[in-house]
Structure 1
Amino acid sequence: MINSADEFVQLRQSEDINEQRRASNDSADIGVWHEIIQRFPDFKLWVVHNKTIPIEILTLLAKDKDPKIRIEVARKRKISDEIFSFLSEDEDENIRYSLMCNSKLSLDKKQTIKVDDSTWLTAKLEEMIKNAGS
């Protein structure tokens, strides 16, 4: 278990692969995740990559101003319906595309992602539908 924001950063920056794995796989209390986000914003991407990250933290990061963070949240297999709804209408088409590529989502759900403002996204969705029928 990760017990502090400082410990998470130390594990993530370690050259020891086992310590890096702990940063990706060990759980932490919700307060520790909040502290990492507040004190070490450059490590938010690594927070998203943690396999035990609570949905509450993913929901918070789905609204992050940095599109790189939102893209990584969109790729997470365990996103909630609330996160999906929020990201499916994101102003950044790259975030919506990342959501469209989320292998956990059904084709029916992917078809509800906003694409009408992007010919590129519309074409990508049509390609997914075509490939699903093959």
Structure 2
Amino acid sequence: MIFSAAEFLKLCASADPQDMLRSISESASQDIWNELIKSHRSRWIDIAQNRTIPEDIVRFLASCDDSFVRAVIAEKRNIPLDLFFVLSRDDDEIVRRKIASNRKVPDEVLFFLTSDPVESVASVADYNWGLRSKMR
């Protein structure tokens, strides 16, 4: 468990693979996540990579103005169902492509993305739609 914002920041800045693993896999209290969000905007992408962040932090990061952070959220498999729909309509094509490649994306969202105006997004969605069709 991560016991302070300072500890999380130290883990993120470390070159030690064990520290990096801890920064993405260990939980922290809601207060620590809130402090990090409020005071360390430059670390939002690191926060987004953590597998244990609470839903309200996921939702906040999914709506932030940083497309790289939204793309990291779009890769997560355990995001709330409604965020798949929201992120599939993101202005940034990288975010939409990450949703199209997410293994947990609902069929309805994946099918919607097969018609994306950006060819690379539609191609990823088509490919994954085809994989799902073969598995049925």
Q: Same fold (TM over 0.5)?
A: yes
* Structure-2 residue corresponding to 1:125: 125
* Structure-1 residue corresponding to 2:10: 10
- The verdict on how the C-alpha distance between 1:125 and 1:17 changes in structure 2, with shifts beyond 3 A counting, is closer
Q: CA deviation at 1:8?
A: 0.6
**Structure 1 regions of 5+ residues with no counterpart?**
none
Q: Any residues of structure 2 matched to 1:1-134 within 5 Å, and which? A: 1-113=1-113, 115-134=115-134
2: CA distance, partners of 1:21 / 1:116: 35
State the one-letter code of the partner of 2:2: I
2: CA distance, partners of 1:21 / 1:129: 32
**Structure 2 regions of 5+ residues with no counterpart?**
none
2: CA distance, partners of 1:13 / 1:133: 43
Q: TM-score, normalised by structure 1?
A: 0.85
Q: TM-score, normalised by structure 2?
A: 0.84
- Which structure has greater helix proportion? 2
CA contact (8 A) 1:88 1:114 kept: no
2: CA distance, partners of 1:25 / 1:133: 33
2: CA distance, partners of 1:130 / 1:17: 36
CA contact (8 A) 2:114 2:123 kept: no
State the identity %.
28
Once the two structures are superposed, residues 30-61 of structure 1 have per-residue CA deviations (whole angstroms, 9 ceiling, x without a partner) of: 12112112211121111111121111111110
Once the two structures are superposed, residues 1-33 of structure 1 have per-residue CA deviations (whole angstroms, 9 ceiling, x without a partner) of: 212211110121123332322222211111211
- The verdict on how the C-alpha distance between 1:115 and 1:31 changes in structure 2, with shifts beyond 3 A counting, is farther
2: CA distance, partners of 1:5 / 1:54: 15
Number of aligned positions between the proteins: 134
2: CA distance, partners of 1:25 / 1:36: 16
CA RMSD of aligned residues (A): 2.1
CA contact (8 A) 1:2 1:28 kept: yes
